[in-house]
Amino acid sequence: MRTRLYHHPIFAEHLTGAGHPERPERMRAVEAALEDECFQHLDRAEAPEGSLEAVLRCHPEPHVRRIAKAVPDEGLARVDGDTVLSPRSFAAAFHAVGAATAAVDDVASGAMANVFVCARPPGHHAETATAMGFCLFNTAAIAARHAQAVHGLERVAIVDWDVHHGNGTQEIFWADPSVLYASTHQMPLYPGTGAKGETGAGNIVNAPLRAGDGRIAFQEAFETRVLPALEAFRPDLVIVSAGFDAHYRDPLGSLQLSEAEFDWATGKLLDLADRHAGGRLVSLLEGGYDLQGLGASAAAHVKRMMTG
């Protein structure tokens, strides 16, 4: 399978301060893992800058202006207690958007079978008009809207296996049945959303897991809730919010997954994309804060994308 990786040096220039878990070393850990010989045929491309037009499909202009205005000329500034800005943060976020929309272009045109976007800051906590949880703009939501507006892909599924629920993605598509949002996540945990009863317009599928859950519970959630919903939805495109902080080593969660579970889930989504979406799958890096667990999990994920 033809797989592309988007990355850019600017993603390491989004600085968050000493001790912050969402740090530049995360990019280096993933990139180092993807230097293994088995990735020699991985197509690599530099992330382009995203467009304001793409961002405005999900976020109002005043929100974009607030973020731009909050960016400091030097040092650090805070959007909230968790979300930090440095002088290059706005540019990094726009390149993350550009990578996500370029990835959609790649799979929609058939140039690539699937694409992995190794970018930061992450995006799935960003709501329509609120930056939070390390996230400024919701790249998964922007990618979905880009697929619909530019390529006419009517039904887009977003599958989120980050340990934290993607409250922003859920909020953006809450009343929109053209986008299915399905999430496995630990609960209770930040941000406090993601109960099974949160169903939107019937397009929201939450499969919360409990602290300490591992392979058996994760696979059961996928096979009984996530995959049946995807089969019924028959998406034209699958987007993965690929957070790897459900790994057993991660300091911000208490799930017990390993890279083997991410490999398994990737294979399931690739099979589904082959059946319903012409193979089109775009994966966007979200969380993952233990560098060893992050690197091993991202490598397993991308290797499966390359081999099917």
Total length of the chain: 308
Q: Quote the pLDDT of residue 1.
A: 67
Domain boundaries of the chain, sorted by first residue: 3-307
What is the greatest pairwise CA distance in the chain?
A: 50
Task: Give CA–CA dist 281/213, Å, rounded.
Answer: 27
Please count the other Cβ atoms lying within 10 Å of the Cβ belonging to residue 147: 28
Say if CB 283 and CB 242 are below 8 A apart: yes
Burial 271-298 (b: 16+ CB within 10 A, else e): ebbbebbebbbbbbbbbbbbbebbbbbb
The residue from 125, 146, 164, 276 that is catalytic is 125
- Which tokens sit at 297? 């999990």
The list of the chain residues with pLDDT below 50 reads none
Q: Quote the pLDDT of residue 200.
A: 98
DSSP 203-256: TEEEEEE-TT--HHHHHHHIIIIIHHHHHHH--SEEEEEE--TTBTT-TT----
Note if 301 is an active site residue.
no
Q: Quote the pLDDT of residue 11.
A: 98
Name the CATH superfamily, with its identifier, for domain 3-307.
Histone deacetylase domain (3.40.800.20)
Q: Quote the pLDDT of residue 198.
A: 98
